[in-house]
Amino acid sequence: MILGIDTSLGTAVAVVEADGVVRSEAASPDPLAHAEVIGVLLERALADAALGPVGATAAPTPVEITHVAAGMGPGPFTGLRVGIAAARAFALARSLPVVAVPSHDAAALAVLLADPHAPSEPFAVVTDARRREFAYTVYDGLDDDGHPVRIAEPALSPRDALDELLAAGGVRRIDVSAVPASMVALAAARAVAAGRTLTGGEPLYLRAPDVTLPGAPKKVGA
């Protein structure tokens, strides 16, 4: 079973069986409370997973987490790091592998699975990047591994320039306000099954730290 964690927008935790059956989901939409809620949501997701698949009446099998899937962003840095730190620590404690998943891949997977018969057309997952910018990634359909096909890597755009930019490429815009952790876990399950790496181990910050190099010391006057 795969534990999925994403804090790129709100805080989301889920436990998903290797074949995609969702055991549990626990989430908070609060975009600022990641550190506060992550522990409680982890505990709840694990406890709920022990009750069996969501909506199933069959007797549950014990929860044995085999992988931890971490949503790597893009997303506001402070919150994003909480989930990645949690995923790494949870995995380390049980000697499990961490599977890094671009958070937009998970959101795209949710879009594509919601309507599997929709005609293939490129679309952009768009999320809040603060500072009057959006983060977006462009996808088109699922590949043979069941993974969203990324046709443009995650990038930032000024908010008022994004529509024009997407229209120029004939890309439909899909605004996303929550990344489901079950989709992070499912994307990881499919990547593991296919022996693929979805992204590197580093967070998708997309932005250098905001710092200014000091100039000469300011004069204080006599």
Partner 1 sequence: MGAEPLVLGIETSCDETGIGIVRGRTLLSNTIASSMAEHARYGGVVPEVAARAHLEALQPAIEAAVAEAGVSLADLDAVAVTSGPGLAGALMVGVGAAKALAVSLDRPLYAVNHLVGHIAADILTGEEVEYPTVALLVSGGHTSLLLVRDLVSDVELLGETMDDAAGEAFDKIARILGLPYPGGPEIDRAAAEGDPDAVRFPRGLSRASDMAAHRYDFSFSGLKTAVARWVERAEAAGERVSVPDVAASFREAVVDVLVTKALDACARHDVPRLLLGGGVIANRRLREVALERAAAAGVAVRIPPLSLCTDNGAMIAALAAELIRSGRPASTLAFGADSTLPVTEIQVAVGA
Binding site for partner 1 (CB under 8 A): 7, 33-40, 42-43, 46, 77-79, 81-94, 203, 205, 209-214, 217, 219-222
Least distance to partner 1, CB of residue 38, Å: 5
Residue 30 or residue 145: which is nearer to partner 1 going by CB? 30
Least distance to partner 1, CB of residue 157, Å: 21
Least distance to partner 1, CB of residue 150, Å: 24
Residue 92 or residue 167: which is nearer to partner 1 going by CB? 92
SS3 of 34, please?
helix
Backbone φ/ψ region at 165: left (φ over 0), alpha (ψ -120 to 50), beta:
alpha
Residue 163 or residue 202: which is nearer to partner 1 going by CB? 202
Residue 54 or residue 205: which is nearer to partner 1 going by CB? 205
Least distance to partner 1, CB of residue 205, Å: 8
Spatial CB neighbours of 91, under 8 Å, sequence gap ≥ 6: 67, 68, 97, 98
HEC secondary structure over 142-180:
ECCCCCEEEEEEEEEEEHHHHHHHHHHCCCEEEECCCCC
Shortest CA distance to 108 belongs to which of 146, 159, 76? Answer: 146
